[in-house]
């Protein structure tokens, strides 16, 4: 029973609410106390009843004795009266007559014992008989008078009376005996009750004591001990220790304990999550190999370390922790510099530095360092995080790159120098050869016919060699990127016309007709001089490789974003298998080699030039059946349409009544443009003085020296860009208006205006626009 | 050509490290009738000889191994007094546009690329002599020799 029930009870008990427990703990001793009091009361009542019984028995005995005494005295009195006839002897009798019924009545009320009651009834009967006998005696006396001794009746009456009295005496004695027995029994019972009461009191005291102890035990086990356990749990919780999970009792303390366990579990879970997060973070940080990541305290002492830091700096975590980070700085002022970095980080929140740092073994590395100041939520400085990268390799690579760049630049410069020298070295001897040959030819009156022919051979061969050198150098320049192209929107018709015009003498000498079918074309973005060179080359070939009296046709038309030019001859054409070699240097096809002059570089150079101008060049057989060759090239269109070619007569605004003695500075490297502007100024501002420079520096010098009234500035200059000149002019002579001349059609006027330009004119120069601009500026200047 | 007699008297100083070219220049100039011709194939002595000879025209080769022709051009330009006009013609085998620009920027009055046409060279020399003589005529009180 104990093994099963006790836990059940304990469990039941534990699950009661605290109020119930308190009630129980208080009620148990109280109930026991009340029980004890009730028991003592009952015992005292029983004792009192027993005492009363004893007292009653004694009273009954007294009353019985009194009845006997009364009857005996009455009998004696009657006898005395009978003998003496004196009335005073009747007194006991009379008292008995009144008292006996009273006493017997009292007895009847008092007696509860049945036997005693029976005896009392018999005593009463006998007492009545006795009193009747006495009354009869007295009556007989009265009838007979004084002499009663001899009277038999009286004698008989006396004898009978005596018998009755004896019977009463017997009965009383029996009754007394009975009462004595009763008294003894009752006395015994009283004693028993008293003894039992004593025992009961002792027992109750014991029970009360045990009950109180039990209540205390219950209180202790149910509340105090658990509250104590709860307190120790709270202490553990405060220390962050884990609490054991136990069966939570159903009362408030159990619930509290359960909540505390839950809180502990939650705390543990959070702590674990936090720790896991921190661990993960730490592992990530520690595992980073490429970056040295570590923390410093506010004084600059290392407080954390990672793999990368160890790898980069050579110190292990144990060695580095606690040491000042200035040990990573080389030099005598390491501490000062390191603290300056920290001060910068504190001031700006973060500082980045690049420089040499030193490893444990004393070797140096080029480091990129980022130091970030760490503040807590109150804004107090907690320390610094420092991320270090070893970028020695990158620096080396950069240095190598820089070296390579310098070498490339040197190589390029060397190449330029070589070209220049080659040009010089090849041309210098030619100078003497051709010069003296010319002189000899001039003196030919002194020479013979054969000598004259020889001199002609020298001159022809020398000029051929010169052409060859020029073309080789041109190709070399293109390959070296040294061919200074001056790309501008150019009217193709003008170039074609010029090329055809220049080729006419050669064509006429061979009776070859040149037909130009170039119609109205969009301007192309090319270097006009170089385009002319290409066209002359193709025309020259077309004439050379033509038959006597043949034709050369130049056709040009727009093809989308490009313009296509075709030069078609009526010669024998080119064998398809040879077509592939056409643009190779020194390829002179067998067909015409024998009887034609040429360097063999013309097509090669033409291709290089066209490609340098973002064009394309090629060959195809003539489309019709007449044989002959067709060389074509395509060139990109200029961005915007241009005005008609320069010097086209146009309605020029009437010369305004402006100042005439103005000084105009022209900074322009393109000779054609310079000539155009000179012509314009000479014609429309005849009294104006035009000074010109072909280079930016010289232009600026002239401006400073002459302080012109107007500057015309080309943006593309050989030594420095025009915007540099513009900036310099703005800095030193901001009052002088500047008109920009640019081939860049998309240059935004507003943008240049912001840089200080008064006007922007795009090339080719629109003469009326230039006039208007110049007049406006000069008038403003003198106004 | 003005004052023909005096033009032929002009003093011409030719500097070139290539003797063949110096010979050619001298032959052409002699053929044109000039008599005061000074040739120098060692450009390091150019300044010294220039001061001694007091030329009316300098013909200078730009590409010489022993000295930078541009530097020489600059220093010869500096020898001329302020306000004086002493034309320098550059003879160069460098046909690049940069070379031309640089030479002109440094004060060359003319550039002739080698190999040159003998007639053209003669005419250009005559032009510069004329310029020089005109300048001298405008400044009679300056002593040039």
Q: Token pair of A242, please? A: 């884990």
Inter-chain contacts counted by CB atoms under 8 A, chains A and B: 84
Pick the CATH number of A288-390 from 3.40.50.150, 3.30.450.20, 3.10.129.10, 3.40.50.720: 3.30.450.20
* B115·A718 Cβ contact <8 A: no
- Where b means 16+ CB within 10 Å and e means fewer, A518-534 reads beebbbbbbbbbbbbbb
CATH 1.20.1270.10 for the A19-206 domain, yes or no:
no
Structural contact between residues A663 and A689, judged by C-beta atoms closer than 8 angstroms: yes
Cα B39 to Cα B23: distance, rounded to the nearest angstrom: 9
**C-alpha–C-alpha distance, residues A310 and A511, integer Å:** 88
For the beta carbon of residue A32, count every other beta carbon within 10 angstroms.
20
Q: Which CATH class is domain A484-636?
A: alpha beta
> Chain B window 68-127: which residues touch A at a Cβ cutoff of 8 Å?
92-99, 101, 104-105, 113-119
Place of tokens 């100078």: A431
Which overall architecture, per CATH, does domain A663-782 show? Answer: 3-Layer(aba) Sandwich (3.40)
Task: Extract the runs of DSSP E, i.e. beta strands, from A668-768.
Answer: 689-693, 710-714, 738-742, 759-762
Residue B115: is the preceding peptide bond cis (ω within 30°)?
Answer: yes
Q: How far apart are CA A14 and CA A16, in angstroms?
A: 6
Measured CA to CA, the distance from residue A258 to residue A301 in angstroms comes to 46
The interaxial angle of helices A91-110 and A18-84, nearest 10 deg, is: 160
Contacts of A470 in chain B (CB under 8 A): 95
B56 pLDDT exceeds 60? yes
Q: Is A671 near chain B, with CB under 8 Å? A: no
Nearest to A423 among B20, B93, B117 (CB): B93
Six-digit token string for A244: 């054991």
Is residue B20 less than 8 Å (CB to CB) from chain A? yes
Q: Do B113 and A695 touch (CB under 8 A)?
A: no
Contact across the interface for A432 and B117, Cβ inside 8 Å = no
Residues of B in contact with A425 (CB under 8 A): 93
Distance (Å, whole) CA B105 – CA A694:
8
CA atoms within 13 A on the CB side of A605: 28
- Could you tell me if A248 and A257 are in contact, meaning their C-beta atoms sit under 8 angstroms apart? yes
Report residue A650: phi and psi, to 5°.
-140, 165
Rounded CA-CA distance A698/A752 in Å is 22
Burial A100-123 (b: 16+ CB within 10 A, else e): beebbeebeeebebeebeebbebb
Instruction: Decide if A427 touches B, using CB distance below 8 A.
Output: yes
Fold of B4-138: Rossmann fold (3.40.50)
- ω before A178 within 30° of 0 (cis)? no
**Residue of A421, A432, A436 to mutate, testing the B interface (most B Cβ within 10 Å of its Cβ):** A432
Flag if A423 and B105 touch (Cβ within 8 Å).
no
Q: What pLDDT sits at residue A5? A: 59
The alpha carbon dihedral of A702, A679, B128, B113 has a sign of positive
B62: closest chain A residue by CA: A424
Which pair of tokens denotes residue A231?
């307190």
- Which residue out of A417, A421, A423 would a mutagenesis test of the B interface target, given it has the greatest number of B Cβ atoms within 10 Å? A423
Other CB atoms within a 10 A radius of the CB of residue B100 amount to 17
Give ∠ CA A715-A733-A677 in degrees, rounded to 5.
Answer: 45
Strand ranges (E), B25-99? 36-40, 57-61, 63-64, 67-68, 88-92
CB-count exposure of residue A502 (10 Å: 0-12, 13-18, 19+): middle
Minimal CA–CA distance to A714: which of A781, A750, A746, A760? Answer: A760
| A439/B31 touch (CB, cutoff 8 Å), yes or no | yes
Neighbouring residues of A194: CB distance < 8 A, sequence distance ≥ 6: A47
pTM recorded for the entire structure:
0.40
Residue in B24, B114, B117 closest to A436 by CB:
B24
The span from the CA of A78 to the CA of A92, in Å, is 8
CB contact under 8 A, A427 and B98: no
Chain B residue closest in CA terms to A437: B118
What is the rounded distance in angstroms from the CA atom of residue A262 to the CA atom of residue A243? Answer: 9
- Collect all residues of chain A within an 8 Å Cβ-Cβ radius of residue B21: 428, 431-432, 435
For residue A4, the SS3 value is helix
d(CA A719, CA A334): 46
Residues paired with B60 in a beta bridge: B15, B90
Along chain A (783 residues), what's the average pLDDT of each consecutive run of 10 residues? 62 79 80 81 83 82 82 81 80 83 83 78 80 78 65 74 78 78 82 82 82 78 79 84 74 82 86 87 81 89 88 87 88 87 89 89 89 89 89 87 86 74 77 84 71 83 83 77 76 87 87 83 84 90 86 87 88 77 67 53 86 88 73 84 38 43 84 77 79 84 86 82 84 86 60 74 71 80 67
Domain range annotation of chain B: 4-138
Pairing of strands A738-742, A710-714: parallel
Q: Do A694 and B105 touch (CB under 8 A)?
A: yes
* Residue of A412, A424, A671, A717 to mutate when probing chain B, most B C-beta within 10 A: A424
Q: Provide the percentage of residues in chain B whose pLDDT is more than 90.
A: 39
- Contact list in A for residue B118 (CB cut-off 8 A) is 435, 438-439, 442
d(CA A371, CA A342): 7
Which residues in chain A are contacts of B99 at CB distance < 8 A? 420
Q: Are B31 and A473 inside 8 Å of each other by CB? A: no
By Cβ distance, the residue of A424, A430, A442 closest to B63 is A424
Residue B66 sits at the chain A interface (C-beta within 8 Å): no
Can you tell me the distance from the alpha carbon of A100 to that of A168, in angstroms, rounded to the nearest whole number?
A: 13
Q: Does A454 touch chain B (CB under 8 A)?
A: no
Q: Identify all chain B residues contacting A695, using CB atoms and an 8 Å cutoff.
A: 101, 105
pLDDT level of residue B87 (50, 70, 90 thresholds): very high
Distance CA A708, CA A733 (A): 10
Q: Residue B144, Cα to own-chain centre: how many angstroms?
A: 16
Q: Percentages helix, strand, coil for chain A, rounded to the nearest 5?
A: 60, 15, 25
Task: Quote the Cα angle for A658-A661-A664, to 5°.
Answer: 95
Query: Can you give the residue ranges of every domain in chain A?
Result: 19-206, 288-390, 402-474, 484-636, 663-782
A623 vs A642: CA distance, rounded Å: 33
Which tokens hold the place of B31?
């053929």
Contacts of B101 in chain A (CB under 8 A): 669, 694-695, 718
B115 vs A462: CB contact, 8 Å cut-off? Answer: yes
The DSSP H or E segment spanning A351 is: strand A350-358
Residue A127 neighbours by CB distance under 10 Å: 26
CA distance A395 to A407: 18
């Amino acid at each position: 029973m104990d093994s099963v029930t006790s836990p059940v009870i304990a469990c039941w008990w534990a699950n009661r609410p605290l109020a119930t427990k308190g009630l129980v703990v208080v009620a148990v001793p109280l109930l026991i106390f009340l029980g004890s009091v009730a028991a003592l009361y009952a015992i005292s009542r029983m004792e009192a009843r027993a005492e009363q019984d004893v007292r009653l028995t004694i009273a009954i005995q007294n009353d019985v004795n009194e009845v006997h005494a009364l009857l005996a005295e009455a009998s004696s009195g009657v006898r005395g009266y009978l003998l003496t006839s004196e009335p005073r002897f009747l007194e006991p009798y009379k008292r008995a007559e009144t008292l006996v019924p009273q006493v017997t009545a009292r007895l009847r009320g008092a007696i509860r014992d049945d036997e005693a009651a029976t005896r009392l009834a018999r005593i009463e009967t006998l007492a009545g008989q006795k009193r009747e006998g006495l009354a009869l005696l007295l009556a007989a006396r009265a009838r007979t008078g004084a002499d009663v001794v001899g009277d038999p009746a009286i004698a008989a009456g006396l004898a009978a009376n005596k018998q009755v009295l004896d019977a009463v005496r017997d009965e009383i004695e029996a009754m007394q005996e009975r009462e004595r027995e009763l008294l003894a029994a009752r006395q015994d019972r009283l004693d028993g009750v008293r003894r039992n009461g004593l025992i009961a009191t002792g027992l109750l005291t014991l029970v009360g004591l045990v009950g109180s102890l039990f209540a205390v035990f219950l209180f202790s086990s149910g509340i105090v001990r658990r509250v104590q356990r709860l307190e120790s749990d709270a202490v553990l919780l405060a220390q962050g220790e884990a609490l054991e999970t136990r069966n939570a009792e159903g009362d408030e303390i159990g619930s509290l304990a359960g909540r505390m366990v839950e809180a502990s579990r939650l705390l543990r879970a959070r702590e674990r999550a936090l720790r896991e997060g921190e661990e993960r973070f730490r592992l990530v940080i520690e595992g980073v190999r490429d970056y040295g990541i570590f923390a410093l305290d506010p004084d600059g002492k290392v407080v954390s370390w990672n793999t990368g830091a160890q790898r980069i700096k050579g110190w292990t975590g144990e060695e580095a922790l606690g040491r000042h980070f200035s040990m990573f700085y080389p030099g005598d002022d390491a501490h000062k510099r390191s603290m300056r970095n920290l001060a910068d980080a504190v001031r700006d929140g973060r500082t980045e530095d690049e420089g040499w740092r030193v490893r444990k073994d004393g070797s140096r590395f080029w480091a990129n360092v980022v130091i970030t100041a760490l503040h807590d939520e109150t804004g107090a400085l907690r320390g610094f995080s420092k991320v270090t990268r070893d970028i020695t390799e990158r620096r080396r690579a950069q240095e190598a790159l820089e070296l390579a760049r310098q070498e490339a630049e040197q190589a390029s410069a060397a190449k330029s120098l070589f070209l220049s020298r080659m040009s010089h070295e090849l041309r210098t001897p030619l100078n003497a050869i051709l010069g003296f040959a010319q002189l000899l030819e001039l003196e030919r009156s002194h020479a013979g016919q054969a000598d004259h022919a020889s001199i002609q051979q020298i001159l022809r061969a020398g000029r051929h060699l010169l052409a060859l050198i020029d073309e080789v150098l041109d190709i070399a320049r293109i390959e070296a990127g040294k061919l200074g192209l001056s790309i501008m929107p150019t009217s193709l018709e003008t170039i074609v016309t010029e090329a055809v015009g220049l080729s006419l003498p050669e064509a006429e000498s061979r009776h070859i007709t040149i037909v130009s079918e170039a119609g109205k074309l969009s301007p192309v973005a090319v270097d006009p001089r170089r385009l002319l060179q290409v066209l002359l080359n193709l025309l020259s070939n077309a004439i050379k490789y033509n038959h006597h009296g043949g034709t050369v046709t130049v056709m040009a038309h727009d093809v989308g974003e490009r313009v296509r030019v075709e030069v078609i001859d009526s010669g024998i054409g080119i064998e398809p298998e040879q077509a592939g070699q056409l643009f190779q240097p020194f390829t002179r096809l067998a067909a015409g080699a024998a009887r034609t002059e040429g360097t063999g570089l013309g097509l090669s150079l033409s291709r290089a030039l066209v490609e340098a101008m973002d064009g394309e060049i090629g060959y195809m057989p003539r489309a019709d059946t007449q044989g002959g060759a067709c060389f074509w090239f395509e060139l990109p269109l200029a961005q915007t349409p241009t005005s008609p070619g320069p010097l086209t007569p146009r309605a020029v605004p009437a010369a305004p009544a402006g100042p005439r003695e103005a000084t105009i500075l022209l900074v322009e490297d393109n000779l054609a443009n310079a000539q155009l502007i000179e012509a314009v100024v000479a014609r429309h501002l005849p009294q104006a003085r035009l000074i010109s420079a072909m280079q930016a520096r010289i232009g600026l010098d002239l401006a400073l020296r002459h302080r012109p009234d107007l500057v015309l500035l080309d943006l593309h200059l050989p030594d420095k860009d025009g915007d540099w000149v513009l900036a310099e002019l703005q800095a030193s002579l901001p009052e002088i208006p500047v008109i920009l001349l640019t081939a860049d059609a998309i240059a935004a006027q507003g943008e240049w205006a912001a840089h200080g330009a008064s006007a922007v004119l795009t090339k080719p120069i629109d003469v009326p626009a230039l006039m208007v601009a110049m007049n406006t500026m000069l008038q403003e200047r003198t106004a | 050509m003005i004052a023909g007699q005096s033009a032929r008297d002009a003093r011409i100083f030719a500097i070139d490290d290539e003797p063949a070219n110096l010979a050619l220049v001298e032959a052409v100039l002699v053929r044109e009738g000039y008599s005061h011709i000074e040739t120098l194939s060692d450009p390091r002595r150019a300044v010294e000889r220039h001061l001694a000879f007091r030329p009316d025209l300098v013909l200078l080769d730009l590409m010489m191994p022993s000295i930078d022709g541009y530097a020489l051009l600059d220093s010869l330009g500096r020898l001329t007094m302020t306000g004086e006009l002493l034309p320098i013609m550059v003879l160069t085998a460098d046909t690049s546009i940069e070379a031309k620009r640089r030479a002109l920027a440094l004060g060359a009055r003319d550039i002739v690329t080698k190999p040159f046409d003998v007639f053209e060279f003669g005419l250009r020399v005559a032009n510069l002599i004329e310029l020089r003589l005109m300048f001298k005529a405008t400044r009679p009180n300056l002593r040039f020799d």
